[in-house]
Amino acid sequence: MDHTDYEITLIRSRRKSLAIEITPELQVVVRAPARMPVREINAFVQEKDDWIRAHLQQMAEKKRLREQYREQALSKEELQELATQAMTLIPQKVRYYAQIIGVTYGRITIRNQRTRWGSCSGKGNLNFNCLLLLMPEEVLDYVVVHELCHRKEMNHSARFWEEVEKILPDYRQRRKWLKDNGGRIMDRNRPVS
């Protein structure tokens, strides 16, 4: 099926309803009941045209950025430089926010981690990923506040998020940025030399 400037793959089955899926390869797949007339399928696709275009554009941009970051893997020297800078900046932020939150903490460690942005141990030791320095400062602040709030609540309960929100009323936006962009930044942690 051709539809203006994108092609549609039609898959018929015993299903009862229509569904649209956009694959990671940016293919538009329409799943339809086996006996549904093509004109009904076309009408459905036409109705969903804006949604399809928006998602194709969004996924294409994510794919482009993923590939861009993949190409920009950091060297060992660059990772070491980030860790050095982080060892200066992050403890300052921890001191600042710990006073506001009213908590104490133990040792601060900066690591070159591949899966986590930060952590807080039961003893109050804090670990942070040096790649946080590649993020907007408000996102770095969110990670620091998140870990320090674990000094009050060692979980992700409603009370924990209330503590975070007291300090950063817009934490949801910051967390969303991290969720949307963090993976691409983490992908850069593949030393090239």
Residue 51's H or E segment, with its range, is helix 49-71
6 by DSSP, 3-state: which? strand
Return d(Cα 112, Cα 189) in angstroms, integer: 8
pLDDT at 193: 47
Predicted model pTM: 0.64
Give the Cα separation of 68 and 165 in Å (integer): 33
* Domain boundary assignment for the chain: 2-71, 76-187
CATH code 3.20.20.70 for 76-187: no
Q: Mind listing the pLDDT tens digit for each residue in 85-119? A: 999 999 999 999 999 999 999 999 998 888 899 99
Hunting for tokens 């293919």 — which residue is that?
A: 27
